[in-house]
Amino acid sequence: MIEALQPTALASRLTRHAALFVLSALFAIAMGIPPERARAEDRVNATLERLDARQREVFLNWHAAQKRHEAALAAYWKRVVSTRSQRRGKIRAGRTVTADDYVMSFPPEYDGPKLPQDILRIWNETEPKAERKAIPTVEDVLESAKSVYGFVPERIPESEFKRRYAMEALAHGLTKQQIVRVYALETGGMGTHDMQSGINPVTRTGRPISTALGYAQLLHANSVSELVKHGPTFIARLEATADTPGIALARARSLRAKANVLRKMLANAKKVPNEWSAHMRFAGTRNGLGIHALNLDGDIGPMLQVIKLKGVREIAEKAGRSTLTPAQLELMNLAGPSTGLEMMTPVGSRAPTPNFFSRGGYERNPVVHKRTAAELLAALDARMDVHEKKPGAVEFAAIFDELMAAREARR
């Protein structure tokens, strides 16, 4: 295989590369080599066939350096995972956590040779076309809701959605600053209630990078989890509103129909274990994906998203944090409530962010790179400062001001 090839031996073996390339897949199957490793070796062999002797030596030196770097990264992340497991055991046992319970360094940086442009072009051309798993879109969510539950969300103007969201937040004790600044960070200060992560809310262009929707960017599994926790409350509120004296008949009928849809969704969601991993699997099915459409409804969407943020605040209160800054609320929303709280402890705040994320999560999210937990919190605050000035956030803040002034006038 390719690891055994040395630059000095390549010239005499050029005519055999094609045969080796054809046989490599059969050899991999026979030897039980993992498919991803076999594909990587095939790509290297395909690249070598297109290089001259000088280029092959340069390429193999670079490739060897890349493998050494990947081995160093793998060792680093193995240590992070092991340390995290031990640290969480100490936390569960109520034992004191110290700096020794964290990996106090960042992932090793590559310091080897770079690949010249001519060779890099060939290397890129041999990359196999990745079969990227399609991320469900808003259209997929809506289609699932309609076909599984007969549910079509009631869409309302953006300003009215913001108003209902703000009313819901104030009723649950969340502040203008918390909601508007979280909105500013999560949506860039210009997001719409149907904004999906990766899609520009203004141009409607882009490619989804997750199932996250709305002002608080709930994942499809978040929608399932919050429905399981609070579904009966949502149903009761819809029916109570439908019973309001003097309400229009059509409006009351619509609210009761939504309550019935929630009952069906809740019954389906409760068929799986009440744990995150099960909710993630269920959310990827049509039955689960249809529940995600609740975020788009003018009556249910604000309740669903606000109750998620309220839940984060309640976890903080139980841990002894009676107040949360918007950035702290977002940190708990980003990393998970328990992890976010750990990142705010005196020792955790000094630890590098890889201690709190999976390798994939860390590598995909530039905002966490090369920062301690405290530095990440400061970066979130700084981004909020910038995006709070964008039109959507300004409109949201004005709606809060109007509602709070009206509430004050009634006192």
pLDDT of 403 > 60? The answer is yes
Task: Supply the pLDDT for residue 31.
Answer: 47
What was the pLDDT predicted at 44?
A: 95
**Nearest partner of 2 among 37, 38, 43, 45, judged by Cα:** 45
Single pTM value for the model: 0.83
Q: In 3D, which of 186, 138, 207 has the Cα closest to residue 309?
A: 186
pLDDT band at 3 (very low <50, low <70, confident <90, very high): very low
Alpha helices, H only, 93-219 = 117-125, 138-149, 158-171, 176-187
Angle (CA) 44-117-128 rounded to 5° is 35
* Pick from 68, 75, 76: nearest CA to 111: 68
What would the DSSP string read from start to end of 317-360? HHTT-----HHHHHHHHHH-HHHHHHHTSHHHHTSBGGGGS-HH
- Chain mean pLDDT for the chain: 91
28-32, 55-59, 164-168, 244-248: range with lowest mean pLDDT: 28-32
Residue 228 to residues 127, 194, 322, Cα–Cα distance (Å): 43, 22, 26
Q: Where are the domains of the chain?
A: 2-125, 138-410
- Residue 377, classified by CB atoms within 10 Å of its CB into exposed (0-12), middle (13-18) or buried (19+), is buried
Give the mean model confidence (pLDDT) for residues 258-274.
98
CA-nearest of 264, 284, 296 to 220 is 284
Q: Is the dihedral of CA 92, 270, 148, 160 positive or negative?
A: negative
Evaluated on CA atoms 45, 50, 52, 58, the torsion sign reads: negative
